[in-house]
């Protein structure tokens, strides 16, 4: 019997805000332990929460970007449970009225080859709500320590429908979601810093069956690759259990990405009664149309909308779009270069390949680059109009990357303009034929390839300035004569 | 001189300070001497930072000498119920849980009072975490009623009421969740005022029941209550439930508002359970208003009378069970020496740190919110609460204020109701509805029982109509001399 997997994801994403969700203390990572605290964060007697509007702005932005319906009233609930990382021993969250409902994330599955676009799918979301992050526990041999720097950071929980069917889809989902949120400035989504965390609910069922199988919750998936590997592992594990005649136990399992194994966790959470009730310290917030309109105005172009536009508007090859589209600053750089003239494909090539490579080698960010869009547009046009050859253009690029000098100026200063002076070319060619008499004889005997050493010698003598097309014509003419 | 100061209203003290008849240092010294003389018997104070108060008094005197006095409260001591944060001072909530806790920050009311030059004067005893009506639920022992040391001062702000009545401090802050200011004020023969929910910031008030708690004032006169209210009222960016309303000069408003008023008398507040002596005193107060030209209307609050106590104990305990979860022995407060792991720290620290009444209410509130009971208890209680508020607001369409007794009985004996929580809960029967509806309410002295125990008249006002409410209470006070009666200690 064949089985299919049904997967739902719960993704926690820290919002990028200046301060914490319910107090003025800065939100941050990497600060000395327990320095990002105040009476509210530490839940001292008498401290009260006050909503950070930026957090609500950001989650609404995320919701609008993902096509969610935004609730007209944002309401807060307390989720009550005792744990040392939770200073109040309740978490301010949203229970029955999440701020964002439905919505979807468009994903792209791996294509048949690197340069072939894969299938696109839409993964429906159930809801997105806002809550506070908790502190961080460190367990020692004899004691445990708590750092409350993270406590109170705004955290959104994104819940998908049980609508994914493979580890690759989960990988593609998180990749697309992460890019979308980063591009919108909603979060930095750095999984190493815990800014994005994912749990997966996984079940399998016989193909054709519509009822869901018993689900297993997989935790500790702390990189996008571990999510893919962990889900693949869990699907194999469940399939082996079921085909071996066993039954899946509903449980929470912890995935060990290094070892590629999972183990069942103690099921202490099963019996929880969170005693949700509306937080009496916070007033519900009305979200009106004017507010939504002002946020809509700040939405970036959606990831795959941009890709489709690049394919159509600029006729870029798929591989170039897949390099550019994930990087909005690079896209903006490219679009500016394309606007300034020259073939967009050529500009995209320079940017996606040469510029990226040189920046990486020099450990520079795009904003540090001395090469600006105008340089790229100028270079493309110099090649297009035959002023310099492609080969010389590479040299010009290296020069302008180092100095920021405009490409035309470099060409002029170094005298790199292609020679189209047929008299000069003829002298070079004649000298080359004389120096390569054997090759000349071979060509005359019908060996086309024998032309290359002669043309090479011309290029060498001209220091690359000889127009290759003219050289070819002249060589053939002289050898034929 | 010193002996004359201890029973003077704050407004009179302010006048003496302004006229340079006394200094703030002299005033603080007089009060410290009084506190040392009587508090061994009254036990209103959990602690008193004498040196700190004297330093602030000297600073106030210096400002006044330089012509930079900050107003009438500059240099005037104000006692704090031990549930309101003052930076550097203990904040115990009269609980073993917080016996050694010192607040690192000021409540908003503290910040405001300091800005007005007032001197935080002592931490005043209370029922643990403000849960109780007698101040017997204090981990540090009960406070006595200054009028009869064998009786309770009421609660939960019993220390605040007793300290003002005993001449230990002219003004005090308290908190009122179901009557915790008005009831002890009535039992101690002083003025106790609870503002409209949202008028005074709760930031820095250790929460009991967030949707009901409100900081208010204890004073010897209505004018003093107006003076202190003016200093603490107003919107606060640290409290999402505080309202943006204009804060008038309440003291100046007193003189402008002369009535006559339309005053409602809810018939249900005069039924079974009301001590006849108290009923008679309140009826005399009603007669006074009638003779002063006010229109007295019979009104009815059936839902409040029947359901307020039940609704209150569902909502207040539910919120408390969550609010008090932070007292876990992890970051601060009592941690059991016997605990071995996190769960054990919670269980043992809370078992040892909380008193019986607090535990009772946490358990009740936990049950009220638990899965399967939420709709039947909490949700329904909130619906009835909305109806109760509606009932009050309907009555207020024809009335400027309501008159009632503050309490069904005068001060009861220490220990008399300790064994019977339900009997204790009923001592708030006339005050609880006001909290559920979020209204302002005041208790003013309106006589004594034959046994010499104070009786309180409760006046209930419309939302945010504090100025009118205070003027109505003031009219009664001015026609009587109860505020000049002091306990013999």
Averaged over B231-255, what is the pLDDT? 96
Q: Please judge whether B240 and A146 are an interchain contact, meaning their C-beta atoms are less than 8 angstroms apart.
A: no
pLDDT at position B283: 98
Residue A293 and residue B5: Cα distance in Å, rounded? 63
Task: Flag the least confident range among A183-187, A412-416, B196-200, B299-303.
Answer: A412-416
Q: A270 pLDDT band (50/70/90 cuts)? A: low
CB contact under 8 Å between B91 and A89, yes or no, is: no
User: Which residues of chain B are within 8 Å of residue A146 when distances are taken between CB atoms?
Assistant: 330-331
Beta pairing, strands B262-266 & B295-299: parallel
For chain B, percent of residues with pLDDT exceeding 90 = 94
For the segment B54-77, the average pLDDT, to the nearest whole number, is: 97
Whether A1 shows a pLDDT value over 90: the answer reads: no
B375 inside domain = no
pLDDT tens for A358-403 read 999 999 999 999 999 999 999 999 998 888 888 889 999 999 999 9
- Residue ranges, comma separated, of all CATH 1.10.10.410 domains in chain A are 422-480
Give the distance from residue A68's alpha carbon to the nearest chain B alpha carbon, in angstroms: 27
Confidence at residue B180, expressed as pLDDT on a 0 to 100 scale: 98
**Cα separation, A375 vs A400, whole angstroms:** 8
Helix residue spans in B332-448 (DSSP H): 342-353, 356-369, 380-395, 421-425, 432-436
B204 located within any domain: yes
Is B318 inside a domain boundary? no
Residue B69 lies in a domain: yes
Residue B156 is a catalytic residue: yes
CA distances from A311 to A109, A112, A117, A327 (A): 18, 18, 11, 16
* Whole-number pLDDT of residue A268: 52
Kindly provide the b/e burial profile for residues B426-464, where b requires at least 16 CB atoms within 10 angstroms of the residue's own CB: bbbbbbbbbbbbbbbbbbbbbbbbeeebbbbbbbbbbbb
Average pLDDT of chain A to the nearest whole number? 92
- Its ipTM equals 0.96
- CB-nearest to B204 from A46, A273, A280 is A46
A82 → closest Cβ in B206, B331, B346: B346
Contacts of A274 (CB under 8 A, 6+ apart): A79, A80, A81
Token pair of B86 as six digits: 């003052």
Greater model confidence, A426 or A172: A172
Our CA angle for A86, A87, A92, nearest 5°, is 65
Q: State the pLDDT at residue A413.
A: 87
Rounded to the nearest 5°, which phi and psi values hold at B402?
A: -120, 145
What the block records as the tokens of B447 is: 């006589």
CATH of the domain at B173: 3.90.1300.10
Mean pLDDT for A422-449 is 86
Kindly report the nearest CA distance between residue A279 and chain B, in angstroms.
9
Flag the least confident range among A257-266, B113-122, B272-281, B469-478. A257-266
Answer whether residue B24 is part of any domain: yes
**Of B156, B168, B165, B149, which Cα lies nearest the Cα of B36?**
B168
The answer for residues whose C-beta is within 8 angstroms of residue A231's C-beta and 6 or more apart is: A5, A7, A166, A167, A170, A200, A202, A218
What is the count of structural domains for chain B?
1
Given a cut of 70, whether residue B1 has pLDDT beyond it is no
The C-alpha angle B15, B17, B18, rounded to 5 degrees, equals 65
Closest alpha carbon within chain B to A92: B322
A·B CB contacts under 8 A: 102
> Mean of the per-residue pLDDT values for chain B?
96
Q: Closest to B322 (Cβ–Cβ): which among A39, A80, A87?
A: A80
* Domain membership of residue B439 as a residue range: 2-299+393-484
Tell me whether residues B239 and A48 touch, CB distance under 8 A: yes
Nearest CA in chain B to A90: B322
DSSP SS3 for A217:
strand
| Cβ of residue A135 closer than 8 Å to a chain B Cβ | no
Please tell me the predicted confidence (pLDDT) of residue B442.
Answer: 98
Residue-wise pLDDT for A71-91, tens only, equals 999 999 999 999 999 999 999
Residue with tokens 């039947």: B376
Report if residue B269 sits inside a domain: yes
Looking up tokens 């190493």 gives A192
Cα–Cα separations (whole angstroms), residue A339 to A107, A320, A349, A383: 29, 17, 15, 17
Q: Which of A459, A464, A469, A344 is nearest to A393 (CA)?
A: A464
Q: A43, A148 in Cβ contact below 8 A?
A: no
> Is B81 part of the annotated catalytic residue set?
yes
Report pLDDT for A475: 86
A366-370, A454-458, B128-132, B272-276: range with lowest mean pLDDT: A454-458
Contact: B210, A281; criterion CB under 8 Å: yes
The predicted structure's pLDDT at residue A425: 81
Active-site residue identified among B23, B138, B180, B427: B180
The answer to whether the beta carbons of residues A433 and A475 sit under 8 Å apart is yes
> pLDDT at position A411, please?
86
Could you tell me the CA-to-CA distances from A258 to A190, A236, A265, A413 in Å, in that order? 19, 17, 18, 56
Domain membership flag for residue B363: no
Q: Quote the pLDDT of residue B359.
A: 98
Sign of the C-alpha dihedral computed for residues A232, A233, A234 and A235 taken in this order = positive
Which pLDDT belongs to residue B326? 98
A422-480 CATH pick, 1.10.10.10, 3.30.70.20, 3.30.450.190, 1.10.10.410: 1.10.10.410
Place of tokens 């569902």: B314
Of A344-348, A397-401, A454-458, B291-295, the range with the lowest mean pLDDT is A454-458
Q: What residues of chain A, 235 to 294, have a C-beta less than 8 Å from chain B?
A: 273, 275-277, 280-283
Tokens of A384: 């297009």
3-state secondary structure of B429: coil
- Is the Cβ pair B93, A82 closer than 8 Å? no
| Whether the predicted pLDDT of A269 surpasses 60 | no
Report if residue B179 sits inside a domain. yes
Q: What residues are paired with A147 via a beta bridge?
A: A136
Look at A46 and B241 and tell me if their CB atoms are within 8 Å. no
Is residue A459 predicted with pLDDT exceeding 90? no
Q: Is the pLDDT of residue B38 over 80?
A: yes
B413 classed as catalytic:
no
Q: Is the model's pLDDT at B35 over the cut of 80?
A: yes
Whose CA is closest to A256, among A225, A221, A224?
A221
User: How far out from the chain centre does Cα A279 lie?
Assistant: 37
- Say what the pLDDT of residue B415 is: 94
Residue B2 pLDDT class (50, 70, 90 cuts): low
pLDDT of residue A267: 61
- The verdict on B326 touching A (C-beta cutoff 8 Å) is yes
Which residues, listed in sequence order, are joined to residue A101 by a DSSP beta bridge? A69, A127
**Is A466's pLDDT higher than 90?**
no
Q: Work out the pLDDT band at B272, boundaries 50, 70, 90.
A: confident
pLDDT of residue B155: 95
């Amino acid at each position: 019997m064949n089985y299919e997997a049904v997967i739902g994801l719960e993704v926690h994403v820290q919002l990028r805000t200046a301060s914490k969700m319910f107090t003025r203390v800065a939100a941050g990572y990497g600060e000395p332990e327990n320095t990002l605290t105040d009476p509210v964060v530490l839940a001292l007697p008498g401290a009260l929460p006050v909503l950070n509007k930026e957090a609500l702005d950001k989650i609404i932005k995320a919701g609008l970007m993902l096509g969610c319906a935004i609730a007209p009233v944002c309401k807060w609930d307390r989720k009550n449970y005792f744990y040392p990382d939770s200073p109040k021993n309740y978490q301010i969250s949203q229970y029955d009225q999440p701020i964002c409902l439905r919505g979807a994330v468009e994903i792209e599955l791996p294509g048949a080859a690197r340069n072939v676009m894969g299938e696109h799918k839409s993964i429906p979301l159930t809801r997105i709500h806002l809550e506070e992050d908790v502190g961080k526990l460190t367990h020692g041999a004899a004691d445990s320590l708590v750092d409350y720097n993270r406590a109170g950071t705004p955290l959104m929980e994104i819940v998908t429908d049980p609508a994914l069917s493979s580890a690759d889809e989960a990988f593609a989902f998180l990749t697309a979601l992460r890019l979308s949120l980063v591009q919108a400035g909603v979060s930095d989504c750095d999984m190493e810093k815990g800014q994005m965390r994912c749990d997966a609910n996984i079940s399998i069922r016989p193909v054709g069956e519509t009822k869901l199988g018993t689900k297993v919750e997989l935790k500790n998936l702390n990189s996008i690759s571990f999510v893919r590997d962990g889900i693949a592992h869990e699907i194999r594990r469940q399939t082996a259990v079921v085909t071996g005649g066993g039954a899946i136990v509903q449980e929470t399992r912890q995935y060990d990405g290094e070892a590629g194994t999972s183990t069942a966790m103690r099921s202490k959470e099963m019996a929880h009664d969170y005693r949700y009730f509306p937080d009496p310290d916070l007033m519900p917030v009305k979200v009106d149309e004017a507010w939504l309109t002002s946020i809509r105005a700040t939405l970036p172009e959606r990831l795959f909308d941009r890709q489709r536009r690049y394919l159509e508007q600029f006729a870029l090859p798929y591989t170039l779009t897949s390099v550019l589209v994930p990087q909005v600053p690079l896209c903006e750089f490219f679009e500016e270069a394309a606007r300034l003239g020259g073939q967009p494909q050529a500009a995209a090539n320079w940017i996606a390949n040469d510029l990226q490579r040189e920046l990486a080698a020099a450990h520079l960010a795009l904003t540090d680059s001395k090469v600006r869009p105008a340089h790229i547009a100028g270079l493309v046009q110099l090649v297009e109009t035959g002023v310099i050859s492609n080969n010389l253009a590479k040299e010009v690029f290296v020069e302008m990357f180092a100095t920021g000098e405009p490409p035309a100026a470099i060409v002029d200063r170094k005298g790199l303009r292609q020679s189209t002076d047929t008299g000069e070319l003829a002298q070079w060619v004649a000298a080359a034929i004389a120096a390569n008499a054997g090759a000349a004889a071979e060509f005359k005997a019908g060996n086309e390839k024998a032309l290359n050493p002669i043309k090479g010698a011309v290029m060498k003598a001209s220091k690359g300035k000889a127009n290759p097309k003219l050289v070819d014509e002249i060589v053939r003419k002289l050898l034929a004569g | 001189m010193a002996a004359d100061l201890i029973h003077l209203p704050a407004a009179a003290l302010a006048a003496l300070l302004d006229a340079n008849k006394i200094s703030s240092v002299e005033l603080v010294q007089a009060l410290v001497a009084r506190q040392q003389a009587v508090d061994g018997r009254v036990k209103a104070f959990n602690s008193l930072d004498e040196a700190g108060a004297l330093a602030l008094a000297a600073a106030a005197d210096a400002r006044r000498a330089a012509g930079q006095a900050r107003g009438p409260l500059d240099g005037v001591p104000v006692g704090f119920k031990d549930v309101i944060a003052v930076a550097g001072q203990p904040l115990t909530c009269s609980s073993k849980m917080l016996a050694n806790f010192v607040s690192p920050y000021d409540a908003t009311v503290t910040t405001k009072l300091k800005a007005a030059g007032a001197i935080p004067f002592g931490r005043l005893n209370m029922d643990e975490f403000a849960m109780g009506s007698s101040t017997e639920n204090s981990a540090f022992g009960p406070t006595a009623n200054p009028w009869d040391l064998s009786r309770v001062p009421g609660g939960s702000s019993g220390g605040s009421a007793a300290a003002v009545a005993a001449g230990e401090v002219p003004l005090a802050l308290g908190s009122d969740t179901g009557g915790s200011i008005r009831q002890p004020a009535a039992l101690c023969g002083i003025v106790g005022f609870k503002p409209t929910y949202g008028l005074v910031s709760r930031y820095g008030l250790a929460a009991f029941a967030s949707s009901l708690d409100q900081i208010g004032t204890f004073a010897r006169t209505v004018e003093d209550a107006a003076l202190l209210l003016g200093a603490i009222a107003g919107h606060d960016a640290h409290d999402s439930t505080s309202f943006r309303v204009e804060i008038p000069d309440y003291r100046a408003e007193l003189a402008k508002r002369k009535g006559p008023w339309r005053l409602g008398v809810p018939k249900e507040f005069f039924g079974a359970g009301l001590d006849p002596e108290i009923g008679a005193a309140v009826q005399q107060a009603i007669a006074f208003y009638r003779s002063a030209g006010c229109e007295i209307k019979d009104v009815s609050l059936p839902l409040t009378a029947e359901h307020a106590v039940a609704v209150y104990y569902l909502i207040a305990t539910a919120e408390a069970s969550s609010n008090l979860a932070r007292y876990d022995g992890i970051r601060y407060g009592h941690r059991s020496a016997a605990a071995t792991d996190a769960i054990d720290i919670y269980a043992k620290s809370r078992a040892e740190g909380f008193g019986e009444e607090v535990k009772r209410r946490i358990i009740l509130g936990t049950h009220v919110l638990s899965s399967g009971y939420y709709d039947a208890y909490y949700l329904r209680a909130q619906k009835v609460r909305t109806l109760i508020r509606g009932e009050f607001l309907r009555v207020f369409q024809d009335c400027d204020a309501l008159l009632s007794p503050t309490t069904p009985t005068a001060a009861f004996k220490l220990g008399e109701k300790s064994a019977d929580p339900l009997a204790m809960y009923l001592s708030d029967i006339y005050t609880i509805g006001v909290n559920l509806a979020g209204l302002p309410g005041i208790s003013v002295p309106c006589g004594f029982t034959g046994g010499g125990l104070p009786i309180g008249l409760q006046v209930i006002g419309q939302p945010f109509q504090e100025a009118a409410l205070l003027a109505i209470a003031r009219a009664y006070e001015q026609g009587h001399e109860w505020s000049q009666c002091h306990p013999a200690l």
